[in-house]
């Protein structure tokens, strides 16, 4: 007999929302998380753009509220990394962890993506204290201040432009002398008086006391290093989707994100992918939560279509 109706992999905004919907649909639901409840929001100081919290809410606290909501409806949680996922000939899924393997009739993978890191001294230490990977989330904390944005792609320029709504200056630090970002974003960036550029330059170290106070930059052409006073460091050097469970199972785009239908279904019946792990435009908590709800509703429809139908009398 199958252990669970629905197994969810990843307890970020998408997974927690999927768990609320799945458990509330009276499906026997288990949610696996390898690290902390909340995923990326767990390390976000204040979430100010999630509806319903006009004064903002600490990301960890919001994740705990979502967790309690899912638990209240009967979802089970297992703090175990899922090591493998396999669709059995019966149509059930084998979900392997270091604990005994379980089976589930439907699986929703919401394992998210991890921001690529620079790997320089100070980066980890000052994350949440001046180092950020999300302009939309954190720009308001740098109102009137001076920040750098690392990277030259669409994310760096798009988010950099957003940050100029708050910061006094945004200096793009890019390792080459041309941007990778799309032409329209480049035009806007070059026309924006608050945007500045440091070409052929990399960050060597992030330094400060309680918060970020300065960065050490190195010019790759001249080899010169320089320490620059700064209030914030936004890093946008790409994301790596946590797709190891999906490789060879579902179709991935060039960036490694799962290609799903509007209902979050993949090419594998009963397997759904939601949140940052899927191909999409917006990578926000609210859109992840929306994805999670959609995936759980679709999983419920899938299960209902495959439920053994009780005999009707009369």
| Residues with active-site annotation | 134, 137-138
Query: Within the chain, how many helices (H) and strands (E) appear?
Result: 6, 19
Closer Cβ to ligand NAP, 103 or 192, answer by number = 192
**Residue 107: left if φ>0, alpha if ψ -120 to 50, beta else—which one?**
beta
Closer Cβ to ligand NAP, 7 or 189, answer by number = 189
Interstrand relation of 195-198 and 169-173 (parallel, antiparallel or unpaired): parallel
| Least CB distance to ligand NAP at residue 197 (A) | 12
Where does this chain touch ligand NAP (CB under 6 A) — which range of 36-44, 73-81, 99-107, 230-238?
A: 230-238
Residues from 36 through 65 that contact ligand NAP (CB under 6 A): none
Interstrand relation of 84-87 and 93-96 (parallel, antiparallel or unpaired): antiparallel
Residues 6 or more apart whose Cβ sits within 8 Å of residue 273: 108, 109, 110, 246, 250, 258, 260, 264, 266, 295
Residues 6 or more apart whose Cβ sits within 8 Å of residue 227: 207, 214, 215, 216, 217
Closer Cβ to ligand NAP, 22 or 134, answer by number = 134
Residues from 238 through 257 that contact ligand NAP (CB under 6 A): 238-239
- Residue 10 binding ligand NAP, by CB under 6 A: no
- What are the C-alpha distances in Å from 308 to residues 34, 303, 311? 33, 10, 9
Residues from 200 through 229 that contact ligand NAP (CB under 6 A): 202
Closer Cβ to ligand NAP, 218 or 301, answer by number = 218
Q: Give the per-residue contact string, 130-169, with ligand NAP (x = CB under 6 A; - = no).
A: --------------------xxxxxxx-x-----------
- Residue 188 binding ligand NAP, by CB under 6 A: no
- The single residue among 24, 94, 129, 180 that binds ligand NAP, judged by CB under 6 A, is 180
> CA–CA separation, 252 vs 246, rounded Å?
8
- Residue 129 binding ligand NAP, by CB under 6 A: no
- The single residue among 32, 77, 142, 236 that binds ligand NAP, judged by CB under 6 A, is 236
Q: Which two tokens stand for residue 296?
A: 């759980």
Residue 179 has φ and ψ, to the nearest 5°, of -85, 150
Closer Cβ to ligand NAP, 152 or 270, answer by number = 152
| Least CB distance to ligand NAP at residue 136 (A) | 11
User: Where does residue 85 rank: exposed (0-12), middle (13-18), buried (19+ CB within 10 A)?
Assistant: buried
Interface with ligand NAP (CB under 6 A): 118, 150-156, 158, 175-176, 180, 202, 236-239
């Amino acid at each position: 007999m199958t252990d669970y109706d629905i197994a969810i992999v990843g307890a970020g905004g998408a997974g927690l929302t999927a768990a609320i919907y799945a458990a509330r649909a009276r499906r026997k639901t288990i949610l696996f998380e390898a690290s902390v409840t909340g995923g990326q929001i767990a390390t976000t100081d204040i979430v100010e753009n999630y509806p319903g919290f006009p004064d903002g809410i600490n990301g960890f606290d919001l994740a705990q509220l979502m967790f309690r909501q899912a638990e209240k409806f009967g979802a089970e949680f297992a703090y175990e990394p899922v090591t493998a996922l396999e669709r059995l000939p019966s149509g059930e899924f084998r979900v392997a962890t270091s604990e005994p393997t379980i089976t589930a009739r439907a699986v929703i993978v919401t394992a998210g993506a991890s921001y690529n890191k620079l790997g320089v001294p100070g980066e980890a230490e000052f994350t949440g204290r001046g180092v950020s990977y999300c302009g939309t989330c954190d720009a308001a904390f740098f109102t009137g201040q001076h920040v750098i944005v690392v990277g030259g792609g669409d994310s760096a320029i798009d988010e950099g432009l957003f940050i100029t709504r708050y910061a006094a200056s945004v200096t793009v630090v890019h390792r080459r002398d041309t941007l990778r970002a799309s032409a329209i974003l480049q035009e806007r960036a070059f026309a924006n008086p608050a945007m500045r550029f440091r070409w052929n330059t990399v960050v060597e170290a992030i330094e400060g006391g309680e918060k970020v106070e300065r960065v050490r930059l190195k010019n790759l052409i001249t080899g010169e290093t320089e320490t620059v006073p700064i209030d914030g460091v936004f890093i946008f050097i790409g994301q790596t989707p946590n797709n190891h469970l999906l490789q060879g199972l579902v179709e991935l785009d060039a960036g490694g994100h799962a290609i799903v239908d509007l209902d979050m279904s993949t090419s594998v019946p009963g397997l759904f992918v939601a949140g940052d792990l899927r191909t999409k435009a917006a990578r926000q908590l609210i859109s992840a939560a929306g994805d999670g709800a959609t995936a759980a509703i679709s999983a419920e429809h899938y299960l209902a279509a495959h439920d053994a139908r009780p005999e009707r009398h009369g």
